[in-house]
Chain A
Amino acid sequence: MYETHYHRASSVDDAAAQFAKGAEAKYLSGGQTLLPVMKQRLAAPSDVIDLAKIPALIGIEVGGDNVTIKAATPHYDVSTNAALQKAIPALAALAGMIGDPAVRYRGTIGGSLANNDPAADYPAAVLALDATVKTNKRSISATDFFKGLFSTALEDGEIITAVTFPIPARAGYAKFRHPASRFALTGVFVAQTKSGEVRVAATGASASGVMRVPAIEQALKANWSASALDSVSVSADGLMADLHGAADYRANLIKVMAQRAVKDAA
């Protein structure tokens, strides 16, 4: 790791002010992605501004129609929150599948979304549930937020403060783990809103990050069942291909994981 300056922010405003002072500042939340990247010397921020101890950024609020997860809430706390487990069980389960137990204690939803790793889990839930990403400046819809590989709508210095998820009628998430990294080789989140809309998002599969899967959405809208997808074919165009999964294999996984997510949906 290159030398840097560490600051612990006391509030969101303090964090934004510290950020503005740094030449090449970066926000640090759980650090479970940023710190490994810095250790590999692939990032060299002049300053890291720690958001994880800001009280306003921690907590989960479950209402009648929405769930709000504040940005610096660790995955472990999301996965074990009893009210959330009841409201959107698939989201709690997804949080419990990220990384490993030690990573889940520190990694946060805000950090995950700001980084937008193409194989991260949270983006699938945010996109499929049509969540709203709240920042210190504005609210951004899920569709507008993700801009491709490691790229988001966030402006320089903008801080995610919370994510609000509409509570769906039912939702499910199934993940096929990359044999080495344990990220999603492909993960699929399926959701049916209370008004009957179906949204399906896949992570880990596309070279441009999290994506909707219209073919599966149409089939599930007509018939919400795993067998409804038997005849659906997912195109391999634009999907990633690497040592652990060819594009046609990932296309297959999108369908198979969608079927399993539907089976598990609640």
Chain B
Amino acid sequence: MGVEGIGASVLRKEDRRFTTGKGRYVDDIKLQGMTHAHFVRSPHGHAKVKGIDSSAALKMPGVVAVLTGQQIVDDKVGNLICGWAVHSKDGTPMKMGAWPAMAPEVVRFVGQAVAVVIAETKNQARDAAEAVEVTYEELPAVTNVKASIATGAPQLHPEAPNNIVYDWALGDEAATNDAFSKAANVVKMDLVNNRLAPNAMEPRAAIAQYDEAEEHFTLYTTSQNPHVARLVLSAFYNIAPENKLRVIAPDVGGGFGSKIFIYPEEMVALWASKKVNRPVKWTGDRTEAFLTDAHGRDHVSHAEMAFDKDNKILGLRVKTHANFGAYMSLFSSSVPTYLYATLLSGQYNIPAIYAEVMGVYTNTSPVDAYRGAGRPEASYLVERMMETAARQLKVDPAELRSKNFIRQFPHQTPVIMAYDIGDFQASLDAAMKSIDYAGFPARKAKAKSEGKLRGIGLSCYIEACGIAPSKAVGSLGAGVGLWESAEIRVNPVGTIEVLTGSHSHGQGHETTFCQLVAERLGVPVSQVSILHGDTDKVQFGMGTYGSRSLAVGGSAIVKALEKVEAKAKKIAAHQLEASESDIVIENGEFKVTGTDKSIALPMVALAAYTAHNLPDGMEPGLKESAFYDPSNFTFPAGTYICEIEVDPGTGKTEFVNFVAADDFGRLINPMIVEGQVHGGLTQGIGQALLEGAVYDSNGQLITASFMDYAMPRADDVPSYKLQHTTTLCPGNPLGVKGCGEAGAIGASAAVINAITDAIGNNHLDMPATPDKVWHAIRAGA
């Protein structure tokens, strides 16, 4: 590797602007003549909209327009879509209720927009929004999945009887029943995977601008995937054709999944910008983020695992109820099905698995992908089952896992996935060594003598990343292909621009992707720029989620670089009067191997653009593009072990040590990889100890601010000890697997396993707040 190539912890190129306050986020942008939008939102969880009187609001200072749900329907703006078709066990397609961008007739969750005020200033818009008089007729609400499917429950959508979106299953039911009939031991448990609010620190925002002369729209938006936004806005929402809509996602302050989706606010901003013929800006506040950003998780499950007399797993049976909220968000249907049940084999050889998932409507905010999306729910279930089984079978939890590890690759699980490679024992060993697993009993005894309850917990997670092979996901119902594109532009003076469809909102692509170029062409990263986030600059792309940017987006860059290199070598060979096969690249120079003849990349580039002396028949220029479609998912895996102490007086959990051993394949920038792990672990710990989005039975969100929703803060979490074990991914040219979600997928089970170990009571659901742990200690005593 070079000092800036693959494997180097190059400092981030983006950090000068971010550390000096020069980042450019959507809310930082001001356009000439810009107006401000404020939404009128439902205070009720479920109600009929009987009437909207805008007359008083229209008379308020600075008000430009008040627009309602009925107008958006009248203008034939399309309903929001769900882009992944999932079928129930009986073969029927999922049952979807219509989701207009503003509700004309019925509101189904608190915070759903019914109207929007457009005014000269933000304050004026908010002032006037309070003057819009909406008459509601309240309807009974339901927020809990089990209550929602009960007889007599309030019905949300006529299209979905009993509030059931689908009743789906995966795996071989008969084979699984057969496995259980032969079991020596069966472990059973009920699990709750708590609902989370994503809470990227930058609230969502949008600015829409309509150019009357060109009949053209520009949308600045907080998106992880601006091209997908344009595709959906054009193809389904009847806003504008793709060639008349430019979507720009500038600096974006975190996403974690919540900024994948196309939300009503940006649709309304676009539509309104044409109606008022002025730019329209909307910036959400934190309360709106809590109420309207797609939430994550929210599963209730029952699981059973069958073991033979030697403690080998025979089968796994899972029944999950997934809360979708009031509407089906863009990729929601895939999260508790193809991103969840397909990972229920974990790191283990499980001959038979049968999973049933019922997706249910409730009067809550829509639920969709949040960091990990389905895989944290699977990993939490499998890893709590393994820990519980070890306690029940009276064997060491590490030993039970090790005994059941998959050791031959490729491995076909009974739930679709074919694991390509891994070494699960290596990461387990690394983590156990790092935390001194063998010394734990002595530490526990010492803590006990000091009045503290100490526990240790393991989690051996696996995930499917590098989303995703287009043909495979297409056969499972995805509405889009999940490849990525890249374009490399070598400019005439030798600077390089990389255009990618992978948006960067914290992941450091502006650095890591440059390193791929530095590695391949030997140029310093300072000469390379990454362009992303603008549909007018980058032709197409699928965006950033599912830990896919490097495995898929990076692979597309490598493919395009191969083409650039091939053409550059032809030019160099021609210029140096050598054979193309003798050209090698060293430190940015194209050399004739075994000679001192060389030509620098800028001179090759200049030759390509002057075109005075190119090989016969060669087109001028040095610019190549590539589309990369992965052949399989990637399978990052690892072991997390945490050691904690519970204060028996208060139930508060303190970390003693947290060790993470991950196998992400090849690391391009280890510093950035470790940063991703730290962040993921903290979100996993947040889910385990602190976070929970809670609705009351009327549909009011009790946790609608940071006063009630506990975000992890610096003193809630430890410094982490990271280890890397490596098996190179065979499925992509870089050998990479993806690292963005691992921490959030694996951490929560490790934490709960440690607490339940410490307190001696396994009946504990997340978030394990001090109050809950204190009660669990008493209940277990």
Q: Do chains A and B touch in the complex (CB under 8 A)?
A: yes
Complex alpha-carbon distance, A2 and B692, angstroms: 31
Stretch in A7-15, A163-171, A175-183 with 4+ CB within 8 Å of B: A175-183
Name B689's closest neighbour in chain A (CB-CB).
A179
Kindly list chain A residues whose C-beta atoms are within 8 Å of the C-beta of B650.
176, 253, 256
B388 in the interface (beta carbon within 8 A): no
**CB within 8 A of A179: which of B287, B694, B710?**
B710
The minimal Cβ–Cβ distance linking B127 to chain A, given in whole angstroms, is 7
Which of A1, A176, A244 is packed against the most chain B CB atoms within 10 Å? A244
Q: Which of B683-702 contact A (CB under 8 A)?
A: 690, 692, 694, 702
Complex alpha-carbon distance, A2 and B651, angstroms: 42
Q: B interface, by DSSP: helix, strand, loop or mixed?
A: loop
Inter-subunit contact B769/A244 (CB<8 Å): yes
Kindly list chain B residues whose C-beta atoms are within 8 Å of the C-beta of A1.
123
Name B692's closest neighbour in chain A (CB-CB).
A243
Inter-subunit contact B771/A180 (CB<8 Å): no
Kindly list chain B residues whose C-beta atoms are within 8 Å of the C-beta of A249.
651, 770-771, 774-775
B609 in the interface (beta carbon within 8 A): no
Name A253's closest neighbour in chain B (CB-CB).
B650
Inter-subunit contact A180/B710 (CB<8 Å): yes
A252 in the interface (beta carbon within 8 A): yes
B706 in the interface (beta carbon within 8 A): yes
Inter-subunit contact A245/B771 (CB<8 Å): yes
Inter-subunit contact B708/A252 (CB<8 Å): no
Inter-subunit contact B708/A180 (CB<8 Å): yes
B707 in the interface (beta carbon within 8 A): yes
The minimal Cβ–Cβ distance linking A54 to chain B, given in whole angstroms, is 29
Inter-subunit contact A2/B127 (CB<8 Å): yes
Kindly list chain A residues whose C-beta atoms are within 8 Å of the C-beta of B709.
180
Complex alpha-carbon distance, A179 and B774, angstroms: 14
Inter-subunit contact B771/A246 (CB<8 Å): yes
Kindly list chain B residues whose C-beta atoms are within 8 Å of the C-beta of A3.
123, 127
- Tally of A interface residues using CB under 8 Å: 18
Kindly list chain B residues whose C-beta atoms are within 8 Å of the C-beta of A2.
127
B10 in the interface (beta carbon within 8 A): no
Kindly list chain B residues whose C-beta atoms are within 8 Å of the C-beta of A181.
706-708
Inter-subunit contact B706/A243 (CB<8 Å): no
One digit per residue, 1 when the CB lies within 8 angstroms of any chain A CB and 0 when it does not, for chain B 654-671 equals: 000000000000000000
Name A249's closest neighbour in chain B (CB-CB).
B771
Which of A3, A179, A243, A249 is packed against the most chain B CB atoms within 10 Å? A179
Kindly list chain A residues whose C-beta atoms are within 8 Å of the C-beta of B287.
40
Name B285's closest neighbour in chain A (CB-CB).
A39
Inter-subunit contact A180/B706 (CB<8 Å): yes
Assess A243 versus B702: contact at CB under 8 Å? Given A249-B771, A249-B775: yes
The minimal Cβ–Cβ distance linking A174 to chain B, given in whole angstroms, is 10
Inter-subunit contact A252/B774 (CB<8 Å): yes
Complex alpha-carbon distance, A64 and B36, angstroms: 59
Inter-subunit contact A246/B770 (CB<8 Å): no
Kindly list chain B residues whose C-beta atoms are within 8 Å of the C-beta of A253.
650
B711 in the interface (beta carbon within 8 A): yes
The minimal Cβ–Cβ distance linking B124 to chain A, given in whole angstroms, is 10
B649 in the interface (beta carbon within 8 A): yes
Complex alpha-carbon distance, A245 and B702, angstroms: 14
Inter-subunit contact B694/A243 (CB<8 Å): yes
The minimal Cβ–Cβ distance linking A247 to chain B, given in whole angstroms, is 10
Inter-subunit contact B770/A179 (CB<8 Å): yes
The minimal Cβ–Cβ distance linking B128 to chain A, given in whole angstroms, is 12
Inter-subunit contact B649/A180 (CB<8 Å): no
Kindly list chain A residues whose C-beta atoms are within 8 Å of the C-beta of B710.
179-180, 244
Kindly list chain B residues whose C-beta atoms are within 8 Å of the C-beta of A252.
649, 774
Kindly list chain B residues whose C-beta atoms are within 8 Å of the C-beta of A40.
287
**CB within 8 A of B649: which of A41, A243, A256?**
A256
- Tally of B interface residues using CB under 8 Å: 24
Name B713's closest neighbour in chain A (CB-CB).
A182
Complex alpha-carbon distance, A180 and B703, angstroms: 10
Complex alpha-carbon distance, A252 and B773, angstroms: 13
Q: Which of A124-162 contact B (CB under 8 A)?
A: none
Q: Which of B740-781 contact A (CB under 8 A)?
A: 769-771, 774-775
Kindly list chain B residues whose C-beta atoms are within 8 Å of the C-beta of A243.
692, 694, 702-703, 708
Name A181's closest neighbour in chain B (CB-CB).
B707
Complex alpha-carbon distance, A3 and B62, angstroms: 14
Q: Which of A1-36 contact B (CB under 8 A)?
A: 1-3
One digit per residue, 1 when the CB lies within 8 angstroms of any chain A CB and 0 when it does not, for chain B 66-93 equals: 0000000000000000000000000000
One digit per residue, 1 when the CB lies within 8 angstroms of any chain B CB and 0 when it does not, for chain A 231-251 equals: 000000000000111100100
Complex alpha-carbon distance, A35 and B130, angstroms: 19
Name A257's closest neighbour in chain B (CB-CB).
B650
Kindly list chain B residues whose C-beta atoms are within 8 Å of the C-beta of A41.
130
Inter-subunit contact A244/B771 (CB<8 Å): yes
Inter-subunit contact B775/A246 (CB<8 Å): yes
Complex alpha-carbon distance, A40 and B775, angstroms: 34
Complex alpha-carbon distance, A3 and B694, angstroms: 33
Complex alpha-carbon distance, A176 and B649, angstroms: 11
The minimal Cβ–Cβ distance linking B131 to chain A, given in whole angstroms, is 12
Complex alpha-carbon distance, A66 and B82, angstroms: 68
The minimal Cβ–Cβ distance linking A246 to chain B, given in whole angstroms, is 6
Complex alpha-carbon distance, A179 and B652, angstroms: 10
Complex alpha-carbon distance, A3 and B690, angstroms: 36
The minimal Cβ–Cβ distance linking A60 to chain B, given in whole angstroms, is 28
Complex alpha-carbon distance, A249 and B647, angstroms: 14
Complex alpha-carbon distance, A243 and B711, angstroms: 14
Inter-subunit contact A180/B707 (CB<8 Å): yes
Inter-subunit contact B690/A179 (CB<8 Å): yes
Name B711's closest neighbour in chain A (CB-CB).
A180
Complex alpha-carbon distance, A245 and B710, angstroms: 13
Name A180's closest neighbour in chain B (CB-CB).
B710
Name B287's closest neighbour in chain A (CB-CB).
A40
Kindly list chain A residues whose C-beta atoms are within 8 Å of the C-beta of B770.
176, 179, 245, 249
The minimal Cβ–Cβ distance linking A90 to chain B, given in whole angstroms, is 20
The minimal Cβ–Cβ distance linking B775 to chain A, given in whole angstroms, is 7
Kindly list chain A residues whose C-beta atoms are within 8 Å of the C-beta of B775.
246, 249
Q: Which of A80-115 contact B (CB under 8 A)?
A: none
The minimal Cβ–Cβ distance linking A243 to chain B, given in whole angstroms, is 6
Complex alpha-carbon distance, A244 and B692, angstroms: 11
Complex alpha-carbon distance, A3 and B770, angstroms: 41
Q: Which of B562-587 contact A (CB under 8 A)?
A: none
Kindly list chain B residues whose C-beta atoms are within 8 Å of the C-beta of A256.
649-650
Complex alpha-carbon distance, A45 and B232, angstroms: 45
The minimal Cβ–Cβ distance linking A161 to chain B, given in whole angstroms, is 30
Kindly list chain A residues whose C-beta atoms are within 8 Å of the C-beta of B707.
180-181
One digit per residue, 1 when the CB lies within 8 angstroms of any chain A CB and 0 when it does not, for chain B 141-175 equals: 00000000000000000000000000000000000
Complex alpha-carbon distance, A217 and B14, angstroms: 59
Complex alpha-carbon distance, A244 and B691, angstroms: 11
Name A245's closest neighbour in chain B (CB-CB).
B771
Kindly list chain A residues whose C-beta atoms are within 8 Å of the C-beta of B703.
180, 243
Complex alpha-carbon distance, A226 and B706, angstroms: 34
Complex alpha-carbon distance, A259 and B650, angstroms: 12
Inter-subunit contact B127/A179 (CB<8 Å): no
Complex alpha-carbon distance, A176 and B702, angstroms: 21
Which of A2, A176, A180 is packed against the most chain B CB atoms within 10 Å? A180
Complex alpha-carbon distance, A177 and B633, angstroms: 44
Name B708's closest neighbour in chain A (CB-CB).
A180
The minimal Cβ–Cβ distance linking B372 to chain A, given in whole angstroms, is 22
Complex alpha-carbon distance, A41 and B287, angstroms: 13
Kindly list chain A residues whose C-beta atoms are within 8 Å of the C-beta of B127.
2-3
Complex alpha-carbon distance, A40 and B769, angstroms: 27
Q: Which of A185-217 contact B (CB under 8 A)?
A: none
Complex alpha-carbon distance, A2 and B710, angstroms: 28
Inter-subunit contact A179/B769 (CB<8 Å): yes
Q: 9 shortest A-B CB distances, which residue pairs?
A: A180-B710, A179-B710, A256-B649, A181-B707, A249-B771, A245-B771, A180-B708, A179-B690, A249-B774
User: Beyond A179-B690, A245-B771: 15 further Cβ-contacts under 8 Å?
Assistant: A1-B123, A176-B652, A180-B703, A180-B708, A180-B710, A243-B694, A244-B710, A246-B775, A249-B651, A249-B771, A249-B775, A253-B650, A256-B649, A256-B650, A259-B649
What are 5 pairs between A and B in contact, CB < 8 Å?
Answer: A40-B287, A176-B650, A176-B652, A179-B769, A244-B710
